[in-house]
């Protein structure tokens, strides 16, 4: 753990209600993940989606370098057709932020109408991170 939580990575867990079933969610998220990997913000460190069987819920677990990377990712990706395809098959019901939420993030969420869906868990209070070599 670092003494400066603002420099700590930010982990976000998105919760989705599936509108078109797991197969449509899997297809949309595979396309979006491929686009983010190639053309996305460099501060997106991990970008993973999950859905189980016939569930009507999906999840994303995304790790960002910092709050600015969260904003940068959304500024870049929100206009992509891959993001529109995800929004067509899944509704974001909540997102849990584990890490520092900056004032700029809150402003971005307010402008996008997402602030009510935020669950802020704050910066880490203990722990460690092993970096893959």
pLDDT digits (tens, 9 = 90+) for 85-106: 999 999 999 999 999 999 999 9
Return the CATH number of 7-93, one of 1.25.40.10, 3.30.2230.10, 3.30.70.100, 3.40.50.10190: 3.30.70.100
pTM value > 0.85: yes
List the domain boundaries for the chain. 7-93
Task: Give the tens place of pLDDT for each residue, 28-86.
Answer: 999 999 999 999 999 999 999 999 888 899 999 999 999 999 999 999 999 999 999 99
Cβ proximity of 89 and 57 under 8 Å: no
Q: What pLDDT is stored for residue 7 in this prediction?
A: 58
End-to-end CA distance of the chain: 18
For strands 90-98 and 118-120, give the pairing: parallel
| pLDDT tens readout for residues 2-27 | 344 445 789 999 999 999 999 999 99
Mean pLDDT of 108-133: 86
Q: What's residue 41's pLDDT? A: 97
């Amino acid at each position: 753990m670092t003494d400066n939580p603002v420099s700590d990575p930010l982990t976000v867990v998105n919760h989705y209600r599936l509108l078109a079933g797991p197969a449509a969610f899997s297809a949309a998220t595979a396309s979006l993940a491929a686009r983010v990997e190639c053309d996305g913000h460099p501060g997106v460190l991990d970008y993973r989606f999950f859905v189980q069987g016939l569930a009507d819920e999906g999840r994303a677990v995304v790790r960002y370098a910092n709050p600015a990377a969260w904003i940068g990712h959304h500024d870049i990706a929100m206009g992509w057709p891959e993001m529109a395809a995800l929004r067509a098959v899944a509704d974001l019901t909540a997102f849990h932020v584990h890490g520092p939420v900056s004032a700029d993030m809150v402003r971005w969420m307010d402008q996008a109408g997402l602030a009510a869906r935020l669950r802020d868990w704050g910066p880490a209070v203990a722990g460690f991170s092993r970096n893959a070599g």
